[in-house]
Structure 1
């Protein structure tokens, strides 16, 4: 489990992929939790009513869109929100999405 996962470089992040990733209610919930915690978390530490395989699928979509970064740490994978990259590319988008009514 110690291998690095592929992530898009900042210049490769596309608004269409970010918006599609954030359009799913479960992924949006995950992003809101990551923003609230403001630190990297082990992928299983956010309480979600979904199976491990579904969680993995949602995290893959977020990672491939450039919304999160996932890095190995020991036997865990730590997920962080790519706030700096998203704010640099799409100023105000993340704050607007996070502030939107649930």
Structure 2
């Protein structure tokens, strides 16, 4: 029986390239993925490029990333823990994350 606080995440085999590329095509979602590349964060600590984004917008950004298989959003006590699904994405699409998450300012 699943916990009501558990959100659906696609299995590795279900992660599809068009959905991943769509999820990472938005600058705010890409910024979130870049933050998570350094390691897991509590959802409250993770912020998009605009700190004034409404909570509903931030939730939608997370939902698109989660449903595409880019991140995991799991309960962590009374908070939610976000992690980048690097292992799954690297297995499905080798080199994609490194190419997409690279900071263009860094070259």
Output the TM-score relative to the length of structure 2: 0.87
Q: Is 1:9–2:11 an aligned residue pair?
A: yes
Count of matched residue positions in the alignment of Structure 1 and Structure 2: 100
Q: What is the 5 A alignment of 1:26-37?
A: 26-36=28-38
Contact 1:18 1:67 in 2 (8 A): yes
Higher helix share: 1
Task: Give ranges in structure 1 of 5+ residues lacking alignment.
Answer: none
Contact 1:41 1:78 in 2 (8 A): yes
Q: Write out the 4+ residue segments of structure 1 that deviate beyond 4 Å after TM superposition.
A: none
Point out the structure with max Rg over C-alpha: 2
RMSD: 1.5
Output the TM-score relative to the length of structure 1: 0.91
Task: Give ranges in structure 2 of 5+ residues lacking alignment.
Answer: none
Q: Is 1:97–2:100 an aligned residue pair?
A: yes
